[in-house]
């Protein structure tokens, strides 16, 4: 915060456009995803309206990863440009005063003009929370997925090994995916159980549209015994989305962190966990 404050103070009196980066946390249940849509509530529209109240003019936010309807974030990162000269606290406490309880700005920093929330990111972390018991959850139904049959963790872990590394993930991308290349480097896929809760943690340089939820759906197919673990490797090599499992429910998915090079001097928020995972 001190470095950001110094950059802001140096430019405060000169009427120079500033680029502000923000860390944002939100419950995705009330929203139709991040990206702005006409006549539908979105996280982007809601945050832009709150920032505009502080900036006294319209702003446009660019985020690190556009989450879908019902998907949550603990560490979304976005940036915007503004001519408004405000103290750093205004972009946090001031903006939060105009946001609903389901969204909070965690931090705000002045960044160089060449910083880009999406293109400067070098890694993204997602977590999926899945309640695995016969009875559906009543508490937290909007913030976790559910599967009623007992899942075999050993089989799912064996299947996950096939996915780690740099691959063509065409079999796990949405038909609406606009990415130019299906190649992604999945650096880590960890599966843990704590009582009735299964926690999937994924890290990659970037993810395709619906990639995480499609991976979860396929791992659940293996976990319930429909296919053996090697099926995942065959599916990956097939590059055929029609052979894969249906896209899994969005409720349990969280964007937990976005990684940037140290020279951007942004807060490191790795290790934050969804509340249900922390208390399961």
Is residue 36 situated within a structural domain? Answer: yes
HSE toward the beta carbon, residue 46, CA cutoff 13 A = 24
Angle at 76 between CA 54 and CA 256, to 5 degrees: 145
Selected residue with higher pLDDT from 272 and 6: 272
Domain that holds residue 154: 123-254
Do 153 and 186 belong together in one domain? yes
Q: How far, CA to CA in Å, does 235 sit from each of 63, 167, 219, 222, 245?
A: 31, 12, 12, 12, 10
pLDDT tens, position by position, 173-191: 998 888 899 999 999 999 9
Do 159 and 237 belong together in one domain? yes
Do 68 and 106 belong together in one domain? yes
84, 101, 120 - which closes a domain: 120
Is residue 94 situated within a structural domain? Answer: yes
Do 10 and 77 belong together in one domain? yes
Q: Identify the pLDDT of residue 275.
A: 65
Q: Identify the pLDDT of residue 175.
A: 86
Do 210 and 240 belong together in one domain? yes
Percent above pLDDT 70 for the chain: 91
Selected residue with higher pLDDT from 6 and 132: 132
Q: Identify the pLDDT of residue 8.
A: 47
**CATH for 57:** 3.30.70.580
Is residue 216 situated within a structural domain? Answer: yes
56, 89, 120 - which closes a domain: 120
pLDDT tens, position by position, 225-264: 999 999 999 999 999 999 999 999 999 999 999 999 999 9
**CATH for 148:** 3.30.70.660
Q: Identify the pLDDT of residue 1.
A: 43
CB–CB of 72/253 below 8 Å?
yes
Q: Count CB neighbours of 86 within 10 A.
A: 18
120, 154, 182 - which closes a domain: 120
Q: Identify the pLDDT of residue 84.
A: 93
- Give catalytic residue positions: 68
Q: Count CB neighbours of 248 within 10 A.
A: 23
Do 106 and 135 belong together in one domain? no
What's the domain count of the chain? 2
Do 164 and 231 belong together in one domain? yes
Question: How many angstroms separate the CA atoms of 85 and 257, rounded?
Answer: 28
Q: Is the pLDDT of residue 268 over 60?
A: yes
Is residue 183 situated within a structural domain? Answer: yes
In our burial notation (b when 16+ CB lie closer than 10 A, e otherwise), range 130-164 reads bbbeeeebeebeebbbbbeeebeeebbbebbebbb
Is residue 260 situated within a structural domain? Answer: no
Q: DSSP states of 58-76 as a string? A: ----EESS---TT-EEEEE
* Inter-residue long-range contacts of 31-36, CB under 8 Å, 24+ positions, other chains counted: 31/69, 31/70, 31/102, 32/69, 33/66, 33/67, 33/68, 33/69, 33/70, 33/71, 34/63, 34/65, 34/66, 34/67, 34/76, 35/66
Is residue 280 situated within a structural domain? Answer: no
Selected residue with higher pLDDT from 6 and 26: 26
Is residue 143 situated within a structural domain? Answer: yes
pLDDT tens, position by position, 99-148: 999 999 999 999 999 999 999 999 999 999 999 999 999 988 889 999 99
Percent above pLDDT 90 for the chain: 83
Q: Is the pLDDT of residue 14 over 80?
A: no
Question: How many angstroms separate the CA atoms of 82 and 209, rounded?
Answer: 30
Which of 229, 245, 65, 237 shows the shortest CA–CA distance to 168? Answer: 237
Which of 192, 223, 209, 212 shows the shortest CA–CA distance to 231? Answer: 223
Do 61 and 154 belong together in one domain? no
Do 198 and 239 belong together in one domain? yes
Is residue 244 situated within a structural domain? Answer: yes
When pLDDT is cut at 50, 70 and 90, the band that residue 277 belongs to is low
Q: How big is the chain, counted in residues?
A: 280
Do 164 and 236 belong together in one domain? yes
Do 128 and 106 belong together in one domain? no
When pLDDT is cut at 50, 70 and 90, the band that residue 3 belongs to is very low
Which of 124, 141, 125 shows the shortest CA–CA distance to 133? Answer: 141
Do 165 and 214 belong together in one domain? yes
For the chain, the average pLDDT equals 91
When pLDDT is cut at 50, 70 and 90, the band that residue 210 belongs to is very high
HSE toward the beta carbon, residue 4, CA cutoff 13 A = 21
Q: Is the pLDDT of residue 4 over 60?
A: no
């Amino acid at each position: 915060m001190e470095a950001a404050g110094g950059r802001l103070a140096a430019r405060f009196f000169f009427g120079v456009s500033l680029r502000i980066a923000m860390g944002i946390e939100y419950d995705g249940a009330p929203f139709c995803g991040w990206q702005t849509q006409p006549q539908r509530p979105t996280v982007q529209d809601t945050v832009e309206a709150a920032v505009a109240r502080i900036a006294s003019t319209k702003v446009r936010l660019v985020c690190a990863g556009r989450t879908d309807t019902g998907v949550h974030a603990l560490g979304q990162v976005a940036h915007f440009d503004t001519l408004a000269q405000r103290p750093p606290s205004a972009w946090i406490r001031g903006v939060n005063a105009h946001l609903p309880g389901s969204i909070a700005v965690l931090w705000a920093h002045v960044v160089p003009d060449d910083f880009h929330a999406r293109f400067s990111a070098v890694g993204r972390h997602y977590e999926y929370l899945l309640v695995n018991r016969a009875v559906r959850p009543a508490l937290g139904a909007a913030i976790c997925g559910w599967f009623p049959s007992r899942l075999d963790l050993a089989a799912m872990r064996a299947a996950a090994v096939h996915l780690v590394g740099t691959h063509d993930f065409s079999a796990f991308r949405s038909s609406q995916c606009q990415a130019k290349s299906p190649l992604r480097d999945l650096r880590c896929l960890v599966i843990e159980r704590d009582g009735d809760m299964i926690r999937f943690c994924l890290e990659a340089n970037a993810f395709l549209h619906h990639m995480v939820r499609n991976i979860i759906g396929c791992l659940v197919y293996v976990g319930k015994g429909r296919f053996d673990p090697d099926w995942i490797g065959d599916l990956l090599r097939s590059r055929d989305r029609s052979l894969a499992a249906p896209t899994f429910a969005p409720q349990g998915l969280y964007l937990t962190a976005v990684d940037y090079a140290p020279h951007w001097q942004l807060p490191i928020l790795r290790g934050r966990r969804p509340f249900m995972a922390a208390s399961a």
